[in-house]
Homo-oligomer: A and B are copies of this chain.
Amino acid sequence: MSIFVKIYFLNIMTPAALRKQIRLKKSFLCVGLDTDVTKIPKHLLDLKDPIFEFNKQIIDATHPYAVAYKPNMAFYEAQGLKGWLSLQKTIDYLNNNYPAIFSIADAKRGDIGNTSSQYAKAFFDVLNFDALTIAPYMGRDSVEPFLAFKDKISILLALTSNAGGADFQNLKVGEEALYENVIKKALTYKNSDNLMFVVGATRPEYLKKIRTLIPNHFLLVPGVGAQGGTVANVCKNACNKNGDVLINSSRGIIYASSGTDFAEKAGEKAKALQSEMSKFIQ
């Protein structure tokens, strides 16, 4: 097998490939790269690209324990053009050095069809992320352009971990909550096999219920750590027979220390989370 073909295969992160990585590393861990230039260690600020340098060191220290990374677009956009460059370098670094790790652009995009197609092109083709978070409010023709991308995953907001999530997501639509309606309808969209769903960990009572609605798709679960959810609650309530969850931690890992040992401390935090997770992975 040529090197080219090998790299090509490694870069397709299907749900099956992701499950394999989860079993291999005994980890559901997704590390959120919410890299805020005002929060990273001061000694990095003299470097040419402090955000990329921070991400690179965090990735190098945490990758044995993580199956996914999730850069949060807002933090890169807030730095303007140079932030976009840091983002591009980060995803290139991930793809070139850790091609078996699942990469998620946390962007919460969604618009009319021709616009969603452009967003899909931006994150799937140009930046070459494996996955993208998307928002449901504009419905079928705003979601399907993302699902049309073969070998890419679109992660739809269902029930989010913030307090305001209840404003609309928990409203009753007939007998069910809006978030349930979003999930059921999304499963009828074309190429819905390419979906995962965002479900907040801060509402463990909902995790089991949501898993019955979505028995076969991955759930991306934020809200562990800084937002109050626990790994055990997520694993007990959100896993299906394959596992099929990604548990995200951002601030709890990447800002574990503000000193020159930030990467080492991040690695320790990631290892501790992985160790908890491993109890729930055969």
A residues lining the B interface (CB < 8 Å): 34, 36, 72, 74-75, 77-81, 83-85, 88, 106, 108-116, 118-119, 121-123, 126-127, 135-143, 157, 160-169, 171-174, 178, 181-182, 185
Contact = CB atoms under 8 A, between A and B. Distances in A.
A139 B112 contact: no
A112 B160 contact: yes
A178 B75 CA distance: 31
Highest count of chain B CB atoms <10 Å: which of A78, A166, A173: A78
Contacts of A123: 77
Given A34-B115, A81-B85, A138-B162, 11 more contacts: A36-B118, A72-B115, A75-B118, A77-B118, A78-B118, A136-B167, A137-B169, A138-B157, A139-B165, A141-B162, A171-B173
A78 to B, nearest CB: 4
Contacts of A136: 137, 167-168
A137 B109 CA distance: 12
A123 to B, nearest CB: 8
A62 to B, nearest CB: 21
Copies in the complex: 2
A182 B139 CA distance: 15
A149 to B, nearest CB: 13
Contacts of A160: 112, 137-138
Contacts of A110: 108, 135
A167 B127 CA distance: 30
A138 B119 contact: no
A126 B169 contact: no
A85 B143 CA distance: 27
14 contacts: A36-B118, A72-B111, A74-B109, A75-B115, A77-B119, A78-B121, A83-B122, A84-B84, A108-B110, A137-B169, A138-B165, A139-B164, A168-B182, A172-B173
Contacts of A108: 109-111, 135, 138
A141 B163 contact: yes
Contacts of A163: 139-141
A127 B80 contact: yes
